[in-house]
Structure 1
Amino acid sequence: MEMQQVRYFLALSNTLNFTRAAEECNVTQPALTRAIKTLEDELGGELLRRERQHSHLTELGRRMLPLLQQCYDAATSAKSLAKAVQSSEVAPLNVTISNSVNIALLVSTFTELFRAYPGVHLKINRGSPGAVIEALKEGQAELAVAGPLGQAWDRLDVWPLFQEGIELAVNADHPLARRNEADVDLSQLAAEPVLSRIYWETSEELWRCLSAKGYTPRTAHEVENDQDLLALLEANVGIGFVSLTSPRSANSRRLKLRDLDVSRIVSVYAVAGRLRSPVATTLLNLLRAADWSTFGVSEPA
């Protein structure tokens, strides 16, 4: 199997048309057709069923597509890496990270990327879920890391990274923190002022689960990010619901929520069908291969 054959197949899977695929790959149609036929012979079956205007991938073609895409991305990334190491060229990469994701989780992966691409120029933007989607739509970011973005845009490719629980955060001097217990019942929060997160990907699901348990939080103050919430927690002006990996401080304490199983999945996002740079593909592969269990989180369900 040759990378040229794989490239032709990926173009064909996108266009479902031999003429347009050949134009996209800058080869003649007979050359592309021969390469696809050779690939089909090697894989043992048809990859595309030719039916005039209704051509479509066969079952074998659909199963091979993600594997061959990964194979092609890895080969392209390897070639680019070799070139970057040889020339020390600058490789720009724009990444958007949700306000709710602790960047400390990503530092180790970024360090691996810097070793692979000494000339990488990483630009990190922060934002709400809406800003994350907008950055991807407008091409302002090649990759994004965020919690659940729902069905806001149907062109998103999603690779789940890890699943984490939601906990209660309180000031270390708060009466709830001085109890000799590691968890708390929702009935004990009835009179507590709650620090609420604006544009938190988990808010809707959390509030729905709390309501189902008969608890309606009494919102006292609203903030956009974990750092601001932590600052208000340290001032002891309220309690807050936070993700397990959000920043901590010596002046705050975490408590489990009794009889409430709420979690969220953090994923890496990209635009489906949009060509990614080799450095972005490398970062994507590093994120997907990372061992997130060291942060106390679990594999996505």
Structure 2
Amino acid sequence: MNLEQLRSFAEVARIGHFTRAAERLHVAQPSLSRQIATLEAEFGVDLFHRARGRVTLTAAGERLLPLARRMLADAETARDEMAELVGLARGRVRLGATPTLCTTLVAEVLAEFRARHPGIDVEIVERGSRSLIEALGEGGLDLALIVTSVSSGTGRAALSLEPLLQERLVVVSAADAPDPFTGAGPGSPISLSLLAGIPLVAFPENYDLRVALDAAFAAAGLTPEVAVTGAEMDATLSFAERGIGVAVVPAMVALERRNLRITPLADPDLRRTISVARRADMAPTHASAAFRTVIGEVAESLAATHAQEPRYLEPIPVG
């Protein structure tokens, strides 16, 4: 077994097709097929179910895939570490982040990191928190910026999780339209009961934000009035700007949008924790350690910028 065989196996598993995987790897299709056949012969099991035009993993292939990805990631990490140790002015950081953080915190972090370390390449993977945790466990990422509720955890003992910020969820509405919450007083936090009576732009049901809000309404015995459901974040903000409905979003995505009015929520539990995660069983590379430092500094700066009441962002003390 060698890394090229594992790389071929992982790419076929990802694409589900031998010919397209060979094209992505820039090898001849017969050569790739031989690598897979050699790997199967060495293990004594079939790794793929082969059907016309499509291949899928067998039970053995499912077991091997996360191990193969981890071994390939560890090999890349070793190359990066050795390059840094011999003084080459290069390196790489693989950062995962949720979509809302990519447009806010990550953008600020990247700008600062590139100014300090222009020779280090940064690869961004944009997914939901659960998917990012899986990628970390498989060795596909160095760091991940994830969001959780205050009480939830990763469920993975092999991960190191460092909370950075607590971010309030806020209600956004069209800035050029009448305030839908005039009864609460300008800028006053609003209750869920008041929010439930205003047409709402709701995220898809699998969104963590949607799950948290639905749970809060249910706990209060409320059924919200929904104007639109199923919109992604960019569309949700645009709908709110046009006055189609109000939306509950993380504070950071709304703070710089002048076409939106921001109204805080009175429920103190409607907030989320932003954390940076990494594999606990792997020492960070020099590049990822430097990136982690910048993340912490930018997070502190953002919290200080918005420290006035209402506190949309609050730093979480270390320890």
Structure-2 change in CA distance of 1:153 and 1:188 (3 Å): same
Residue type of the partner of 2:276? V
2:89 counterpart residue number: 88
Equivalent of 1:168, from 167, 171, 175? Answer: 171
How far apart in 1 are the matches of 2:124 and 2:117?
A: 16
**Normalization by structure 2: what TM-score?**
0.60
How far apart in 1 are the matches of 2:304 and 2:85?
A: 31
2:7 counterpart residue number: none
- Could you tell me whether the CA contact under 8 Å between 1:95 and 1:123 is conserved in 2? yes
Residue type of the partner of 1:300? I
After TM superposition, list the pairs within 5 Å mapping 1:171-182 onto structure 2.
171-177=174-180, 179=182, 181-182=186-187
How far apart in 1 are the matches of 2:277 and 2:154?
A: 13
**Normalization by structure 1: what TM-score?**
0.63
After TM superposition, list the pairs within 5 Å mapping 1:169-208 onto structure 2.
169-177=172-180, 179=182, 181-183=186-188, 184-198=190-204, 199-208=206-215
2:126 counterpart residue number: 126
Q: How many residues align?
A: 221
How much does 1:259 deviate? 5.0
1:209 counterpart residue number: 216
Residue type of the partner of 1:246? V
Residue type of the partner of 1:186? L
How much does 1:114 deviate? 2.4
How much does 1:79 deviate? 11
Equivalent of 2:292, from 279, 284, 290? Answer: 284
Question: Aligned to 2:290, what secondary structure does the other structure show?
Answer: helix
How much does 1:168 deviate? 0.7
2:314 counterpart residue number: 298
Residue type of the partner of 1:228? A
Verify: 1:156 aligned to 2:162, yes or no. Answer: no
How far apart in 2 are the matches of 1:157 and 1:259?
A: 30
- Could you tell me whether the CA contact under 8 Å between 1:136 and 1:270 is conserved in 2? yes
Residue identity over aligned pairs, in percent, reads 21
How far apart in 2 are the matches of 1:253 and 1:261?
A: 21
How far apart in 2 are the matches of 1:231 and 1:209?
A: 24
2:97 counterpart residue number: 97
- Could you tell me whether the CA contact under 8 Å between 2:203 and 2:209 is conserved in 1? no
1:14 counterpart residue number: none
Question: Aligned to 1:284, what secondary structure does the other structure show?
Answer: helix
RMSD: 3.0
Structure 1: which 4+ aligned runs deviate by more than 4 Å?
Answer: 77-84
How far apart in 2 are the matches of 1:108 and 1:142?
A: 19
- Could you tell me whether the CA contact under 8 Å between 2:180 and 2:198 is conserved in 1? no
After TM superposition, list the pairs within 5 Å mapping 1:246-257 onto structure 2.
246-247=253-254, 248-257=256-265
Structure 2: state its 5+ residue gaps.
1-79, 307-312
How far apart in 2 are the matches of 1:82 and 1:155?
A: 26
How much does 1:156 deviate? 2.0
